[in-house]
Amino acid sequence: MTEAILLVGGQGARLRPLTSHTPKPLLPVAGVPFLTHQLARAAAAGVTRVVFATSYRAEMFAAEFGDGSGLGLELDYVVEDEPLGTGGAIRGAAEKLRSKGNEPVLIFNGDILSDLDIAGLREGHRESGADVTLHLTRVPDPRAFGLVSTDADGRILDFLEKPDASGPIGAAQVNAGCYVFTRSVIDRIPPGRAVSVEREVFPELVASGAYLRGVLDGDYWLDLGTPAAFIQGSADLVRGRVDSPALPGPVGDALVLPGAQVDAGAVLSGGTVVGEGARVGVGAVIEGSVVLPGASVGAHADIRRSVLGRFAEVGSGSSLDSVVVGEKARIGADSELPSGIRIGCGVELPPGGVRMSAETAPCTARAFAPPAA
């Protein structure tokens, strides 16, 4: 398996305002665009060529990664004029594949962080003779995912996509968003229309008697689609809870990127990242947070489990816990924001002890829960 398809067409609505100007897979996670971690792990597993299936702000992917030579890969790009779903994206990107017949093709989502053994998944696929091999994981509450049932040998029996939230559901194995397809099977996906690989392709393959194999692999798996998960994934990479060949520094309690200015009297902990050109003032405390490039944190501010967008400003003495601050937003001095608030790009909050409620905060989206400790 030397070829892969990378699905990166989504708009990342659950992460706004962070994704207002940047596709979710290009957001910096532990100091580099998240896709850099995924591409580095794929390359380490023997992948040499990746086709991007893009849609939202598609031009930014090629601008960031070019032909892939900087990562030791060959990259190509397919742009959807209108979203065609996961199955449609796979089918469209397959037109650029060189693999034929029974050759395996890796397919993975651009927003999943895991410790999956990619090479092991490929070898198991080859040895088993499966048509499709799916990476599975277990989650405490599977209602946001697709349940997958298997027999004792790992053969997939059926799928239940995003089960009804009305009844109690315990921990279950779910589709983890990474697959190995036998190349000829991809050609069975209908071309030129919207297709869901989860709701249509996989169930129809099972019904037709195709051999779909599920593999529970790895201990770490995280969907980075929410602010809490985005923060947690970045912190876990920095602290070494999950490995990445692309981490731009040693694992530890914090990662400070070149060009950042952090006062000696500031305290960084919990896997905090301070991006290029960012500034952190004297006495500031930043725990388990992401400070994106160009952002600034004033003296004695207290920032916990939060994200500060590019060139955002947090005034001195302010307190933020589980807050998302959009690009170029400005939080006045001595402000205290409620947990779960999102401040839109370019919004300015005046200084003077602002005490906001979730109902009165401007340019906000729904609240989010803080990440796990």
Q: How do the domains of the chain map onto residue ranges?
A: 3-219, 242-349
User: Same CATH topology for 3-219 and 242-349?
Assistant: no
* pLDDT on residue 38: 94
Report pLDDT digits (tens) over 5-14.
Answer: 999 987 778 8
23 prior amide bond cis, ω within 30: no
User: Which stretches of the chain score pLDDT less than 50?
Assistant: 353, 357-373
User: Which one of 3.40.640.10, 3.40.50.360, 3.90.650.10, 3.90.550.10 gives the CATH number of domain 3-219?
Assistant: 3.90.550.10
Asked whether the whole model's pTM tops 0.95, one would answer: no
* pLDDT on residue 198: 87
Sorted by sequence, the CB contacts under 8 Å of residue 343 that are 6+ apart come out as: 17, 323, 324, 325, 326, 329, 331, 337, 349, 361, 362, 363, 364
Distance CA 19, CA 23 (A): 6
* pLDDT on residue 166: 58
* pLDDT on residue 11: 78
Per-residue tokens: 179: 């697959």
Contact 273, 291 (CB under 8 A): yes
Report pLDDT digits (tens) over 107-116.
Answer: 999 899 999 9
* pLDDT on residue 367: 40
Contact 339, 370 (CB under 8 A): yes
User: Which one of 3.40.250.10, 2.160.10.10, 1.10.260.40, 2.40.30.30 gives the CATH number of domain 242-349?
Assistant: 2.160.10.10
- Residue 238: CA count within 13 A, CB half-sphere: 29
